[in-house]
Structure 1
Amino acid sequence: MKTKQIVLGVITLGLIGGGIFAYILYSTFFTPNTRFETDDAFVYIPTDATVEILEERLSPFITDLDSFKSAADKKGYLQNIKAGKFRIKKGMNNNELVNSLRSGNLPVKVSFNNQETLHDLAGRIAAQIEADSISLLAAFKDKSFLNTNGFNEANSLSPYIPNSYEFFWNTSAEGFRDRMFKEYQRFWTDARKEKAKRLGLSPNDVIALASIVHKETAKIDERPRVAGVYLNRLRKNMLLQADPTVIYAIKKETGNFDTVIKRVLYKDLELDSPYNTYKYLGLPPGPIAMPDITAVDAVLNPEKHKYYYFVANVEKFGYHMFAESLTQHNRNKAQYIRWINSRKIKR
C-alpha cells in the first residue's frame, strides 16, 4: 500500500512539475508579448548590435523583455543578432518575434534627386539607411573606386542616377556606392551610349551638360530645346556662357553652397574658374548638380534647330525666349533686364 502511495505521489508530483514546465514553456514562447496598438511596428537593429542595444530598440514595443530574452536565448538568436529593418505585428508571441527578427529583414525605399554636391547626397542617403554621412562621403570620394571606374574628383557625382531604389536598411556605405554604380551601368544602355557617341560626347560629358540644362529650366518639355542650344554652341566652338555654371563657380570659390543667387552680375563673369563657361570653352570639368533623367535624355535627344541664344521669358514664367542671332537675342535680353530691374533684384 505504501509503495502504491509513493508511486502515485511521484506521478502526481511529475504531472504537477510537467504542468508547471509546460506552462512556463507556453508562457515563454506562445503568450502574446507586444505593447503597441497599431497593426504593426518597425524595429531597426544596427549592425553588430549587442543584447543591450537590442533591448533598447525593442523596449517600446514589447511587454516582457525578460521572457523575450529567455526565448531568444533558447532559440540561439541572442548569439547571432541580425541587423536590419523588421516588422513586428500586434499580438506576436516571443517565438514569432524571434522568427521575424531572425529572417524578416525588409527593404527600404531610398530616393534622391537634384543633389548639388556629394555632401548633400551623403546627407540625404544617411537619413534613409544605416550608414552615416561621413562613411558615405568617404566611399563616394574613394580614389581607387573613382579611378577604376573612369571618374575623378570633379565628376564624382556622375555615377548617381536620381531615382527611387530598394536597399536593405543596414546596407554599408560601400555597398550603397557599388550598387549605385551598377545602376549607372544599367542606365547607360547601348542605345544611350550610341546617342552620346553620335553627339561626340562621353557619358560623363552628357551628365555635365545635362546638369546645366537641368539648372537652366525646370520645364521638362523645354529641356530638349535648351540642350539643342548648347550643342549648337559646342559644334561652333562658341563659349557656352551658361549662368548656372557661373553660380556654381561662385559657390565653389566661397565654399558656401547654400548661397542663393538670383542674378549673375558682369563682375561675376570675370571669376577665373574652369566652371565659368563665360571664360573657358567647352564643358565644365564635371556636373554642377545632379541632373534629372529627363535632362540627361534631353541632351541625348535634343531638339534640332538653329538657336544659339536664349533668355528668360518674362511673359511666360519658367520658359525662355530663343534666338538665332545676337541682334534678336539682345532685344529679348533688354526686355528681361527691364523686368528684373523693375523687381529690384540686385543679386
Structure 2
Amino acid sequence: MGVDKSSNDFEEKRTNLGKKIFLSIIAILLVLGVCIFIFGHQYLKESLKPLNPNNKSVIQVKIPMGASDKKIGSILQDKKIVKSGMVFNYYVNSNHYSDLKAGYYELSPSMSLKAIANKLRSGGSDQPLQGVYGRLLVREGDNINDIANTVEKRSRYSSDDFKKLMVNKDFLNSLKKKYPKLLASAFKSKKNKYVLEGYLYPATYNSQNNVSLKTIVEQMVGKTNQELKPYFKKIKSKSLTINQALTLASFVESQHVSKDNGQKIAGVLYNRYNNDLPLEVKSSVMYANNKDSQKELVKKDYKNKSAYNLFIYKGLGPGPIGNPTITSLSAILNPKDMDKGYLVYKVNAKNKKVNYYSYSMSSN
C-alpha cells in the first residue's frame, strides 16, 4: 500500500508540474501575442504617417510597367518616400487602390500614403521629370520665390532672371492683353508683391534650352487660364473677383488638408470675413515675412506691417500667397459648415487633423 501511494503521489506531482509548464507556456505565448499585437499596431500606425512631414524635398521615382503593389511599395521605401513598403502595399489593397500606373513621378517624404496613392493613380510622365534642364515642376502651393529656385535648377535661367521678369511691366501687360478676364483683378491690386502670384498653375512645364523664359511663364499663365475658365461664372456668382477667389484658395492650399477639410476651412474664412474679423491666416504672416513652411513664426513676425499680415488687417489682403490647385478653388466655391458659426480652425501639423471652434481665439 505504501508503494502504491508513493507512486500515485509521484504521478500526481508530475501531472501538476506538466500542467504548470503548459499553463506557463500558454501565459508566455499570450503575453508575446499581446506584445506583438501592440507593437504591430503601433508600427502600422506610425508607418501610415508621412515619412517626414517637414521634409518638402522632391524625389524622382520611376515605377516600371507591370510593377505589382508590393514592388511599388518596395521602390518607395528604397527611395525613402514611405516608412514601410509592406505597409504601403497593405494600405493600397485595403483601400482598393488597384489601378496604380507606371511612369516617372516626383514625390516627397512629407506626403501621406493617400496623397502618394492618388498621385500614382493619376499616372506619371513617360519621360524623366528631373535633370539639369528640360522639365520644370511647379508644386501645389509654390509661391514665386519657390518657383524662382526651381527655374534655376531646371532651366538655363537664374532665379534673378525669373524675378526680374515677374516685375517686367511690358511682359506683364502683354499677358494682361492675352488673358484679360483672368488677370484684370490682379492688376487692380496695388499692394501685391507680384501680379502673377497665384497665376502660375501647379503642373510640369517644358524648360528645354530652346525655350525662352517668357515662354515658360506663358505656359504657366495659359495653364491657369485653361483650368480656371470653367469656373469664371461661378466665381462671379459668389461676388468674388478672380484675384479674391485665388487668394482664398491659396490660404486653403497652404494647409495641405483633405478636400472635405478644405471646404470647412473655407467656411471658417467666410464666417470671419462676414463678421468683419481678421482672417488670422498664419501662412499669410509667413508670406509677409518671406518665411517658408519649415520655419517657425515668432512674436515679432505678427507685428509686420505688410498688407499680407492678416492678423493685423481685415479683409483678404492684396492677393494670393501661392499657386493653388483647382481642388482648393473648388473648396472656396463650395464651402461647408458656415451655418455652424465656426470662427477658428486648428490644423495639427503632424497628422493634418483639423479641429473647428465657434468662438474667437487669439490665433489659429
TM-score by length of 1: 0.54
Q: Structure 1 residues 315, 205: CA separation in 2 closer, same or farther (over 3 Å shift)?
A: closer
Q: SS of the residue aligned with 1:322?
A: strand
Q: SS of the residue aligned with 1:127?
A: helix
Counterpart-to-counterpart distance in 2, 1:319 and 1:219 = 9
Work out whether residues 263 and 335 of structure 2, in 8 Å CA contact, stay in contact via their aligned partners in 1: yes
Q: Which residue pairs with 1:164 in the alignment?
A: 204
Q: SS of the residue aligned with 2:356?
A: strand
Q: SS of the residue aligned with 1:216?
A: coil
Counterparts of 1:92-131 in structure 2, within 5 Å, are 108-114=134-140, 116-131=142-157
Q: Which residue pairs with 1:291 in the alignment?
A: 324
Cα offset for 1:162?
Answer: 0.5
Q: Structure 1 residues 119, 315: CA separation in 2 closer, same or farther (over 3 Å shift)?
A: closer
Query: In structure 2, what residue type is equivalent to 1:143?
Result: K
Q: Which residue pairs with 1:278 in the alignment?
A: 311
Select the residue among 270, 284, 287 that pairs with 1:248. Answer: 287
Cα offset for 1:207?
Answer: 1.5
Cα offset for 1:168?
Answer: 4.5
Could you give the per-residue CA deviations for residues 78-97 of structure 1, whole angstroms, max 9, x where no partner exists?
A: xxxxxxxxxxxxxxxxxxxx
Work out whether residues 250 and 323 of structure 2, in 8 Å CA contact, stay in contact via their aligned partners in 1: yes
Q: SS of the residue aligned with 2:240?
A: coil
Q: Which residue pairs with 2:214 in the alignment?
A: 174
Q: SS of the residue aligned with 1:201?
A: coil
In the alignment, structure 1 residue 143 sits paired with structure 2 residue 166:
no
Q: Which residue pairs with 1:238 in the alignment?
A: 277
The two structures, once aligned, show a CA RMSD in angstroms of 3.1
Select the residue among 248, 256, 264 that pairs with 1:209. Answer: 248
Q: Which residue pairs with 2:359 in the alignment?
A: 325
Counterpart-to-counterpart distance in 2, 1:160 and 1:275 = 19
Q: SS of the residue aligned with 2:289?
A: helix
Q: SS of the residue aligned with 1:165?
A: strand
Query: In structure 2, what residue type is equivalent to 1:243?
Result: K
Cα offset for 1:310?
Answer: 2.7
Work out whether residues 137 and 205 of structure 2, in 8 Å CA contact, stay in contact via their aligned partners in 1: yes
Could you give the per-residue CA deviations for residues 42-97 of structure 1, whole angstroms, max 9, x where no partner exists?
A: xxxxxxxxxxxxxxxxxxxxxxxxxxxxxxxxxxxxxxxxxxxxxxxxxxxxxxxx
Work out whether residues 141 and 156 of structure 1, in 8 Å CA contact, stay in contact via their aligned partners in 2: no
Q: Structure 1 residues 225, 184: CA separation in 2 closer, same or farther (over 3 Å shift)?
A: same
Task: Name the % identity.
Answer: 24
Q: Structure 1 residues 226, 122: CA separation in 2 closer, same or farther (over 3 Å shift)?
A: same
Query: In structure 2, what residue type is equivalent to 1:235?
Result: N
Q: Which runs of 5+ in 2 are unaligned?
A: 1-132, 177-183, 188-192
Counterpart-to-counterpart distance in 1, 2:195 and 2:309 = 16
Q: SS of the residue aligned with 2:254?
A: helix
Q: SS of the residue aligned with 1:188?
A: helix
Work out whether residues 246 and 264 of structure 1, in 8 Å CA contact, stay in contact via their aligned partners in 2: no
Counterpart-to-counterpart distance in 2, 1:315 and 1:299 = 22
Q: Which residue pairs with 1:194 in the alignment?
A: 233
Q: SS of the residue aligned with 2:172?
A: helix
Q: Structure 1 residues 223, 209: CA separation in 2 closer, same or farther (over 3 Å shift)?
A: same
Q: Which runs of 5+ in 1 are unaligned?
A: 1-106, 252-256, 337-347
Q: Structure 1 residues 283, 186: CA separation in 2 closer, same or farther (over 3 Å shift)?
A: same
Counterpart-to-counterpart distance in 2, 1:136 and 1:319 = 36
Q: Which residue pairs with 1:100 in the alignment?
A: none
Counterpart-to-counterpart distance in 1, 2:261 and 2:227 = 23
Could you give the per-residue CA deviations for residues 187-224 of structure 1, whole angstroms, max 9, x where no partner exists?
A: 221x3111211222111111211121122343343111
Counterpart-to-counterpart distance in 2, 1:325 and 1:277 = 18
Q: Structure 1 residues 125, 300: CA separation in 2 closer, same or farther (over 3 Å shift)?
A: farther
Could you give the per-residue CA deviations for residues 311-334 of structure 1, whole angstroms, max 9, x where no partner exists?
A: 4366993122112234xx68xx8x
Work out whether residues 154 and 285 of structure 1, in 8 Å CA contact, stay in contact via their aligned partners in 2: no
Could you give the per-residue CA deviations for residues 138-189 of structure 1, whole angstroms, max 9, x where no partner exists?
A: 2222112334514454332222000123455421011112222222221221
Q: SS of the residue aligned with 1:145?
A: helix
Query: In structure 2, what residue type is equivalent to 1:155?
Result: V
Work out whether residues 199 and 323 of structure 2, in 8 Å CA contact, stay in contact via their aligned partners in 1: no
Query: In structure 2, what residue type is equivalent to 1:303?
Result: K
Larger Cα-atom Rg: 1
Q: SS of the residue aligned with 2:197?
A: coil
Q: Which residue pairs with 1:98 in the alignment?
A: none
